């Protein structure tokens, strides 16, 4: 995809409450403003990259952009799973993500178990790909050092 790497930031908002509770895979959700400002031709699906919360460290992440067919969402969302255990919720903090690669298109699943299994597979694949030198260098991008007061899409 010609937009990668793609950088965006925004305030973490409450999502559908499914990530932690139903899936055991917590996600941080961007507000509609950030989702609505994604490039018009960005494909829906599962991506991987880097993320930081507030002034915190940069961690590996996977992000789902789309309609979540299993849940039949009516609004496009952008849900980021950061591969790090946080001690507490961080609603209201600024989430910064650098999307560096595409894993797969979004799809429907016949069970919650198959959805969870696919997400866990996405996480494992993302971990491997983010260890590649061309992706590791983006962890240090100046984007993650930009003052947190700015909300933006693009770089």
Active site residues: 79
Peptide bond into 5 cis (omega under 30): yes
Helix (H, G, I), strand (E, B) or coil at 32: helix
Using a 10 angstrom Cβ sphere, with 0-12 exposed, 13-18 middle and 19 or more buried, the burial of residue 57 is exposed
What residues contact residue 21 under an 8 Å CB cut-off, 6+ apart? none
Both tokens assigned to 21: 């509770």
């Amino acid at each position: 995809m010609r937009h990668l790497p793609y950088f965006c930031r925004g305030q973490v908002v409450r999502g559908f409450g499914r990530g932690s509770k139903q899936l055991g895979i917590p996600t941080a959700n961007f507000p509609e403003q950030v989702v609505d400002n994604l490039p018009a031709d960005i494909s829906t699906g599962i991506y991987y990259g880097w993320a930081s919360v507030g002034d915190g460290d940069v961690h590996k992440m996977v992000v789902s952009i789309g309609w979540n067919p299993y849940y039949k969402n009516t609004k496009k969302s952008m849900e980021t799973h950061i591969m790090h255990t946080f001690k507490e919720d961080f609603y209201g903090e600024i989430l910064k993500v650098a999307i560096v690669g595409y894993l797969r298109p979004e799809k429907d699943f016949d069970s919650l178990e198959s959805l969870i299994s696919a997400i866990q597979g996405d996480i494992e694949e993302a971990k491997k790909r983010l260890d590649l030198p061309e992706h590791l260098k983006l962890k240090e991008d100046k984007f993650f050092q930009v003052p947190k007061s700015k909300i933006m899409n693009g770089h």
